[in-house]
Amino acid sequence: MSSVNEPLDSTPLSDTILGSTLIGENATRFRVWAANCQSVNLEIIELSGDLETVRERYPMESDNKGFFSTTVTDCPAGTLYRFQLDNGMGRPDPRSKSQPYGVHGPSAVVDSDRFQWTDQHWTGIEKKNLVIYELHLGSFTPTGTYLAAIEQLDDLVKLGITAVEFLPLAQCPGNWNWGYDGVNYFAPSNNFGTPDELKCLVNACHDRGLAVINDVVYNHVGPEGNYLAEFAPYRSPKFNTPWGDALNFEHAEVRQFVLDNVSYWIDEFHFDGLRLDAVHYMFDDREYHILGEIRDSFRKIETAKNRRTHLIGESNIYDEDLINPTANGDPNYDAIWSDCLMHSIYKHGNPEIRLTDRHYEENDLSEAIEHAYVFSTPGAIRVTDSIRKKQNPTDGRDYVDSLIIALQTHDSVGNHPHGKRLHQLTSTQYQRSAAGLILLYPSIPMIFMGEEWSTNAPFPFFADFEDPSLRKAVDQGRRNEYPHHDWDGSPLPSDPTAFSSTRSQPNDLNPETHRWYKTLLSLRKRLIQDETLIAKNLRTHSDLEKSVFKLIYKTAGGSLHICSRLAGLNATPLPLETMDVGDMLFSSNYESERPTELTGSHCLIWTSKT
């Protein structure tokens, strides 16, 4: 094994790519941005059991602009390496594509061209056809691997799912984590398998007609295994986040780090979309905000790939700046999360439950159904105080098809100390009835894994850290974040059972709920195809006293009514004749397709002539 250094201005373009790049059958080019260092050495690592040794050490050539590079012959895929900085410490590659031994271990050279894709004819899913299934790969199957997830894909297709969204995959510390503590942005988590096994999963999704969305975190870097600031000024000197270091978007190379990561997931792994976590914490004082730069970069990639892809921002509350067209008329973000309808449903069903720092009122559900949101930016303005309240309900709804709505998400379930789901906080009938409003609304619906079965498997917050002080801080911090909850008996995030309990068992599942979800999604598909389920056709009706909420789609041929009664278990029976029921199509209670009265929560769907 030998090293060859060449002046950077005489090397081909491929040799200016950061990280490790195979440039021949066995030769690898290494390049790193380490502007905080005077010198950098490349170390080739050998492992024997738990014993780690440096087999070779090569000085890297500096271009005097903060970049160091070298080429090593006889350095095939799988070779372990790290960079020795001038502080004497060996650190993983900031652009590592694989961390087989975790965030503190050496990086591995990856052959990006080895995997044989078979999705050449895949063109993606149109936004109007999206039905997203959010899942955590470690909890989704008994073994929690990329390959094991493939075995469940056919069931998702039969349910009516058209896209899967993974909680963040960037390498995190420990053996279990939600994924939001990632520190190796370019390395898929080794807890679930290898990079090629992730590609196999994506390829299998495309083979079944499923789009794949990756949840990415650009607002902060996780607190353990974060060595970026030792290399260069990655850490913002001005901004902080509650979860870890904010990135320094004032520096061009840090911006490029994120832009390269955006293209990496689309190019390298063929993802069909990215969901950007907590975009309101992506601090940037530049006029050309990083969110706009990501958008423009993403659109160029989409055009080059000639494949329908989706850029999603998690703002949680309505932010028209993210979805309105840009000044020159170009598309902005394809969609944003909107949690207001979900939290309003929770509040209506169980007023004692509060799973967000926003305060929802008991009458917010009618506002959420009419407008698709309750709070909007800036400053979390209520819809009742905004201009949209003055508009005709059938006007000004162009934004609705760009909102992602859900009945449950990883946050809503995980923010409960015991990880309880909606049906456990209300009733199974309440969940089914509310599902009619979510899955037949003209926004993009999202289902959180297990929801379609009313699974009893919890999904509490879990995070594994090697640093004992971090484990203690996270355990206590979670309680401090939601002090109004009763935490007695709840698992600590660092407790292995917090993670292991999230995998559903056969006796956790309710087939009646699954049947109802499948019915709703089949109906949704039909309504999308015949252009019934669009915002301009929608009228809404709310009767808070009777806990009755309606979506009414009016077309030239008649009307479709989705009527959900969201009542408590001891609600007063409601005679059916008060509902103005027409020709019945479906009922959430399969014991009676046309009940004589509604004794509790229930969803009815019927048609009537205009």
Active site residue ranges: 277, 314
Q: Which residues of 474-494 are buried (b: 16+ CB within 10 A; e: fewer)?
A: bbeebeeebeebeeeebbbbb
Hunting for tokens 């060859």 — which residue is that? Answer: 4
Q: What's the CA gap between 488 and 506, in Å, rounded? A: 27
- DSSP collapsed to 3 states, 68-85: EEEEECCCCCCCEEEEEE
Residue type, 461: F
476's enclosing H/E stretch is helix 468-481
- For residues 265, 127, 517, 461, the Cα torsion angle rounded to the nearest 10 degrees is 40
- Dist CA 527 CA 52 (whole Å): 60
Q: How far apart are CA 218 and CA 266, in angstroms?
A: 16
Rounded to whole angstroms, the Cα distance separating 399 from 382 reads 17
Closest CA relative to residue 536, chosen from 436, 372, 395, 368:
395
Amino acid present at 62: S
CA contacts within 13 A on the Cβ side of 408: 30
- Beta bridge partners, 428, equal none
Structure tokens given for 418 = 């015991």
Chain centre distance of CA 335? 12
The H-assigned helical ranges of 208-334 are: 228-231, 252-269, 290-305, 320-323
CA gap 479, 107 in Å, rounded: 35
Calpha distance 27→76 (Å, rounded): 6
Alpha-carbon dihedral angle through residues 93, 94, 98, 101, given to the nearest 10 degrees: 70
**DSSP per residue, 551-577:** EEEEETTEEEEEEEE---TTPPPEEGG
Distance CA 35, CA 597 (A): 72
Helices (H), 127-272: 137-140, 146-150, 153-159, 195-207, 228-231, 252-269
Q: How far is CA 378 from the centre of its chain?
A: 23
**To which residue do tokens 């075995």 refer?**
151
Determine the 3-state secondary structure of 371 from DSSP.
helix
- The DSSP bridge partners found for residue 404 are 337, 444
CA distance 125 to 323: 19
CA-closest candidate to residue 293, choices 249, 323, 328, 335 = 249
Beta-strand runs (E) in 167-226: 170-171, 184-188, 211-216
